[in-house]
Structure 1
Amino acid sequence: MVREDGKRNFALRTDDGTEPSVFSGNTPRQAALKAARRLDDVGESESEADRNRIELREKGTDKIHIYEAWAWEETAPDDKPDWMPGDITKANVSKQGIDHRET
Structure 2
Amino acid sequence: MAREDGKRNFALRDVDGNETSVFSGNTPRQAALKAARRLEDVADGEQNAERHDIRLREKGSDKVHIYEAWAWEEDAPDDSPDWMPGRITKANVSKQGIEHVDDI
TM-score > 0.5 by shorter chain: yes
State whether structure 2 residue 90 is matched by structure 1 residue 90: yes
CA distance in 1, matches of 2:88, 2:101: 35
Aligned to 2:67: 67
Per the TM alignment, residue 18 of structure 1 is displaced from its structure 2 partner at its CA by 1.4
Aligned to 1:27: 27
| Identity fraction in percent | 77
Tell me how large the CA RMSD over aligned residues is.
Answer: 0.7
Query: CA offsets per residue over residues 60-82 of structure 1, 9 Å max, x none?
Result: 00000000000000000111101
CA distance in 1, matches of 2:64, 2:11: 9
- Alignment coverage as a number of residue pairs: 103
- Structure 1: where are the runs of 5+ without partners? none
CA distance in 2, matches of 1:92, 1:15: 21
CA distance in 1, matches of 2:102, 2:61: 11
CA distance in 1, matches of 2:17, 2:10: 14
One-letter code aligned to 1:5: D
4+ residue segments displaced more than 6 Å: none
Per the TM alignment, residue 16 of structure 1 is displaced from its structure 2 partner at its CA by 2.2
CA distance in 1, matches of 2:102, 2:94: 24
Q: Secondary structure at the match of 1:20?
A: strand
CA distance in 2, matches of 1:60, 1:38: 24
What TM-score, normalized to structure 2? 0.97
